[in-house]
Amino acid sequence: MPAGRLGRRRQDQKTPRMKILFVHNGYESLGIEYLSAALKAAGHETALLIDPCLFDEAGFWRSPALARLFSARAALLRKAAEFKPDLAAFSVFTDTWPWALALAGEIKAATGARTVFGGIHSSSVSEAVIKEGAVDFVCLGEGDLALPALAEHLEGGGPLPAGIWGKKDGSVVKGPPPSPPAVLDALPFPDKQLFAAAAPVFGSGYLISSSRGCPHSCAYCCNSVYRELYRASGVPCLRRRSAENVLTELEAAKAGAPGFVHFTDEVFNSDYAWLEDFLPKYKARAALPFSCFAFPDSRLAALAPALAAAGCFKVQLGVQRFDEEKRADLLGRRAANSDIAAAIKGLKAAGIYVTCDNILDLPDESAEELAALAGFYAENTPDHNEVFFLRLYPGTPLAARCGAGADAPGGLMRPSGHSPLPPGKQRAYFTLLTLLPRLPAFSRSFFAARPGLFGFAGGLGLRMISRLLSRPRKDFHTGRFLHLYSHFIFAKLRGNA
């Protein structure tokens, strides 16, 4: 019996052993869906509460007045009390840590439930997280095996399972080191009903991953933390599902008529042999438009026609900066500008929408490098540029190298002073790079050489406008953002949140 079917059969049992409540903010989490499936397969009951955090998105944008007006906190606490959970589970990013910690304390007070914190922040600074009074347990790394084992521990006692930390008599108690699932095909398919039941916006597209982990060692990325975390287990950080397992899940998903598929793999093109086998089968058996993240290596441009033929409509590339040596030295990314240019042109020629990610406020950036980056994009123009300011996350090699410099309260949307360049010049390049794909082709080189013309305010408003001006019809990121906000705003106005 396929793992996905096994999970669905067991979730229909009438006498759940424990009640686990997932509490999440805003957007769909494939990780939480996998955890829910694993818990249901073990005979437990799960539920999800969404705090949309409207106008209060950590690291992106905040409007305190609007956030108070559209707050869903009271309704969320009422629903938590009605569910009466045994365990409340939070998957936490560094930017959402203050929100999760405050809400966990309120849910503990309202329900008496114990809490478990997972996610990258909890894995990066576990010692700090477990010391908080609102946190009873910490799950390190992937929780597919650890969270059901924790539920078993809470039912029957015994030592803490691998990957779980807890407390006893005021002291921290640690289970064995975490060991992630080595064979992804053995996992139940993700519990897609969890988010769809919370809001219909989560049923418009299908989130899936064919792999976990990453082949690269980018100095600013969470995968550097996970790689060290799993080292003792002997399980490789990068693991891939079989093509058959992925296709079986997608064939079942087609019954729900999703408008598109989004592959969340860190690097969808990490295994070209796998892709060459998978893409024709995907076209034959799934036949849904899809988007993905890819690394701009020397082979991506040649793969573009096959991606397009299979239904790919959008690829997001990580560029981050122009200087190749600094890109490799500071960021740990080894990519040639010639390969990036070829990937942009090859993907666009195949009819695929191309987005490029970029980081400003780097500690070794210069005006000359930013000018070169703008010139590069004037000649090799993607459909959209995503531009962020550097944010240092705990546990990453880049944070250790740069020291404990504080990030700006605005997070990714404003410079924190890591760069030697003045904030005004960085904001000008933020605006220039964001708008460059919107400008007529004949004018791009002219404007790329004149960043001073773009010194006006940028930020999230500019990002949203640029996305709306030109985006794929089935764009996962912008589409979900717009649908989520409209859904929860109207729910609040109707008195349902």
Q: Nearest CA to 100 among 49, 25, 48?
A: 25
Residues 6+ apart with CB under 8 A from 349: 304
As given in the structure block, the two tokens for residue 408 are: 């700006």
Rounded mean pLDDT for each run of 10 residues along the chain, 497 residues in total:
34 69 91 98 95 73 74 87 97 92 96 97 96 97 97 93 95 95 98 88 87 94 91 92 98 91 97 98 96 97 98 97 97 96 98 96 96 98 93 91 65 81 91 92 96 72 59 59 71 69
Gap between the Cα atoms of 417 and 405, Å rounded = 9
Gap between the Cα atoms of 247 and 212, Å rounded = 17
Report whether 59 contacts 219 (CB < 8 A): no
Residues 6+ apart with CB under 8 A from 251: 285, 286
What's residue 304's pLDDT?
98
Report whether 76 contacts 491 (CB < 8 A): no
What's residue 26's pLDDT?
77
8-state DSSP, 123: H
The DSSP H or E segment spanning 281 is helix 272-285
**3-state SS assignment for residue 124:** helix
As given in the structure block, the two tokens for residue 463 are: 């990002």
Residues 6+ apart with CB under 8 A from 293: 263, 264, 265, 266, 267, 268, 315, 316, 317, 318
What's residue 59's pLDDT?
61
Q: Nearest CA to 103 among 39, 55, 150, 52?
A: 52
What is the set of domains in the chain, with CATH numbers? 3-7+14-182 (3.40.50.280), 206-473 (3.20.20.70)
Report whether 458 contacts 427 (CB < 8 A): yes
Gap between the Cα atoms of 101 and 309, Å rounded = 46
Neighbours of 56 (CB within 10 A): 20
What's residue 468's pLDDT?
57
